[in-house]
């Protein structure tokens, strides 16, 4: 049997899940040479919320972070997470802009691009996948895992086969809520591996307390790669600990053969950094607690904390249980979308409105209206007809690929930002987050006040 491969997530999903993506480039760079020698399959270092957080909160250039990481990592593949046609933003972007973003990601150092669509609508990952292969990257397509009457093993087998036909170099089961039960995971992996001929990876979160058990069953089922995080940024809403999984499998036929001495040094390096985020309140202890109720409500850990914040802001914290019960009802009404960005936020907000307003779908956010109109893609099951009529009346539902409605936009955006963007990478920053990127670039390039040189009379 081949040894198990490990993708290390602490530099992307680990700190995104626990400290709201606040690790700085200066905190990351000093430990990279050691991480490069551990024996990982890949380091997940970019994408997801890192791009947004760099510009919005850290006053950093995300592209420069990637280049600096690449300079120091010579032996290990660098991986990123991409939201298909949404890239790293929150809307669909035109095909030319998607291709440009993928091209620049690979040029600046990314090897593996993990591409997912919140609805598992493969039409929304096709262009990003084609661009990844065109520019020499490894195209990993992600199955957004969820549970519903239509999300059967047969559904996932058909989806995986469709992804392989589209050119996936590997496929990952993306269990973003940590709800894949160990025995079901075993069966799912066995069935998927019986119909695909590319490596299969498994990503989960430790929120519900079953992740490590799932991973051991996955290894028995023949999973090729699993995602883990160094212990300092593991557990809770993050992934299971790298060291723990490596120890559990040591000496077995699937032993990942990681350098345990280096792993200990990496964990020790990160401890004072974690302490800083504990002390300043960024790391909420709640994120480390086991929350088995997620298995009942199927909510990602971050979605729970968002709900708490929303209700607190409305002085309605006492309605929390009502909202939790409303979320599955909304999800069923909307055709069982997987609860992953941006659908998790949209479904959660609609559930809050339904409870607080006192009448279901009396108040509906624009995003939900667009979803019902088909502008996010095809819902896994049909939207409840009565709910659809209440939300959009007799408006026509678009059944095509949403990006087909978009004109090429890269050159238009480039002209709009003008000389403020000094590279295509900075144009892409502006395309993702127009307001915050413009402020960031203005600050980055504001002229330094020239020192006034006074005339000095020199007497000879």
The CATH number for 35's domain is 3.20.20.70
Q: What is the mean pLDDT of residues 224-238?
A: 97
CB distance 245 to 3 below 8 Å = no
Domain boundary among 240, 261, 285: 285
Q: What is the pLDDT of residue 212?
A: 98
The answer to the question of residue 290 being in a domain is no
Q: What is the pLDDT of residue 245?
A: 98
The answer to the question of residue 352 being in a domain is yes
| Percent of the chain surpassing pLDDT 90 | 87
* Residues 333 and 394 grouped into a single domain: yes
Q: What is the pLDDT of residue 287?
A: 87
* Residues 365 and 223 grouped into a single domain: no
Strand partners, 44: 79
Band (pLDDT 50/70/90 cuts) for residue 455 is very low
Residue 410 has which token pair? 């890269």
* Residues 263 and 386 grouped into a single domain: no
Q: Is the pLDDT of residue 446 over 70?
A: yes
pLDDT in tens, 241-259: 999 999 999 999 999 999 9
* Residues 179 and 281 grouped into a single domain: yes
Band (pLDDT 50/70/90 cuts) for residue 460 is very low
Q: Is the pLDDT of residue 457 over 60?
A: no
* Residues 180 and 76 grouped into a single domain: yes
Q: What is the mean pLDDT of residues 410-438?
A: 97
Burial track 257-291 (b if 16+ CB lie within 10 A, e otherwise):
ebeeebbeebbebbeebbeebeeeebbbeebbeeb
| Percent of the chain surpassing pLDDT 70 | 97
Q: 238: helix, coil or strand?
A: coil
Q: What is the mean pLDDT of residues 39-49?
A: 97
Q: Is the pLDDT of residue 340 over 50?
A: yes
Q: What is the pLDDT of residue 448?
A: 57
Q: What is the pLDDT of residue 351?
A: 95
* Residues 9 and 95 grouped into a single domain: yes
* Residues 62 and 170 grouped into a single domain: yes
- Tokens 């607190």 appear where? 312
Domain count, the chain: 3
Q: What is the pLDDT of residue 300?
A: 74
The answer to the question of residue 224 being in a domain is yes
* Residues 312 and 434 grouped into a single domain: no
* Residues 452 and 367 grouped into a single domain: no
Q: Which residues constitute the domain of residue 436?
A: 412-459
Band (pLDDT 50/70/90 cuts) for residue 450 is very low
The answer to the question of residue 291 being in a domain is no
The answer to the question of residue 347 being in a domain is yes
- Domain CATH code at residue 303: 1.10.472.90
- How confident is the prediction for the chain on average, in pLDDT? 94
Q: What is the pLDDT of residue 458?
A: 38
* Residues 280 and 397 grouped into a single domain: no
Q: What is the mean pLDDT of residues 46-53?
A: 96
Q: What is the pLDDT of residue 83?
A: 96
* Residues 376 and 454 grouped into a single domain: no
Domain boundary among 242, 260, 285: 285
Domain boundary among 285, 317, 332: 285
Could you tell me the sign of the dihedral formed by the alpha carbons of 31, 172, 141, 135, in that order?
Answer: positive
Q: Is the pLDDT of residue 1 over 90?
A: no
Q: Is the pLDDT of residue 453 over 80?
A: no
The answer to the question of residue 293 being in a domain is no
Burial class (CB in 10 A: 0-12, 13-18, 19+), 431: buried
pLDDT in tens, 127-162: 999 999 999 999 999 999 999 999 999 999 999 999
Strand partners, 43: 8, 78
* Residues 231 and 352 grouped into a single domain: no
pLDDT in tens, 81-100: 999 999 999 899 999 999 99
The answer to the question of residue 325 being in a domain is yes
The answer to the question of residue 221 being in a domain is yes
Q: What is the pLDDT of residue 451?
A: 39
pLDDT in tens, 260-318: 999 999 999 999 999 999 999 999 888 898 989 888 877 776 677 677 778 888 899 89
CB distance 127 to 403 below 8 Å = yes
CB distance 113 to 80 below 8 Å = yes
Q: pTM of the full predicted structure? A: 0.94
CB distance 78 to 69 below 8 Å = yes
Q: Where are the alpha helices (DSSP H) in 399-458?
A: 410-417, 424-432, 434-445
């Amino acid at each position: 049997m081949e040894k198990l491969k490990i993708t290390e997530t602490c530099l992307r999903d680990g700190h995104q899940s626990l400290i709201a993506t606040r690790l700085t480039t200066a905190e990351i760079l000093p430990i990279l040479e050691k991480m490069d020698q551990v024996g990982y399959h890949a380091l997940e270092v970019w994408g997801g919320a890192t791009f947004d957080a760099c510009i919005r909160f850290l006053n950093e250039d995300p592209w420069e972070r990637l280049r600096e990481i690449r300079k120091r990592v010579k032996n290990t593949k660098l991986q990123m997470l991409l939201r298909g046609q949404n890239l790293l933003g929150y809307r669909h972007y035109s095909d030319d802009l998607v291709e440009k973003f993928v091209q620049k990601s690979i040029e600046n150092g990314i090897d593996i691009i993990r591409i997912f669509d919140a609805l598992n609508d493969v039409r929304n990952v096709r262009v990003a996948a084609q661009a990844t292969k065109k520019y020499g990257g490894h195209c990993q397509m992600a199955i957004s895992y969820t549970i519903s009457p239509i999300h059967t093993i047969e559904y996932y087998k058909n989806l995986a086969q469709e992804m392989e036909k589209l050119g996936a170099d590997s496929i990952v089961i993306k269990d973003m809520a940590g709800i894949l039960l160990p025995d079901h995971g075993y069966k799912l992996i066995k069935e998927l591996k019986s119909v695909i001929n590319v490596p299969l990876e498994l990503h989960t979160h430790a929120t519900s307390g079953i992740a490590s058990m799932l991973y051991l069953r996955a290894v028995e089922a023949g999973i090729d790669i699993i995602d883990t995080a160094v212990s300092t940024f593991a557990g809770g809403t993050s992934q299971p600990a790298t060291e723990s999984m490596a120890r559990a499998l040591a000496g077995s036929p699937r032993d990942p053969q990681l350098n345990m001495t280096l792993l200990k040094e990496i964990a020790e390096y990160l401890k004072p950094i974690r302490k800083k985020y504990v002390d300043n309140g960024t790391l909420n202890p709640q994120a480390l607690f086991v929350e088995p109720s997620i298995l009942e409500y199927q909510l990602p850990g971050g979605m729970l904390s968002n709900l708490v914040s929303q209700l607190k802001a409305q002085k309605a914290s006492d309605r929390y249980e009502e909202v939790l019960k409303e979320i599955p009802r909304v999800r069923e009404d909307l055709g069982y979308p997987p609860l992953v960005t941006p659908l998790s936020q949209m479904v959660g907000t609609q559930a809050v409105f339904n409870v607080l307003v006192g009448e279901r779908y009396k108040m509906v956010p624009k995003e939900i209206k667009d979803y019902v109109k088909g502008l996010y893609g095809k819902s896994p099951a049909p939207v409840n007809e009565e709910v659809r009529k209440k939300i959009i009346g007799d408006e026509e539902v678009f059944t095509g690929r949403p990006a087909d409605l978009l004109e090429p936009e890269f050159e238009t955006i480039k002209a709009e930002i003008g000389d403020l963007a000094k590279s295509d990478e900075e144009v892409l920053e502006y395309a993702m987050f127009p307001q915050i990127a413009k402020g960031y670039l203005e600050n980055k390039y504001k002229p330094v006040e020239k020192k006034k040189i006074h005339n000095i009379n020199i007497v000879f």
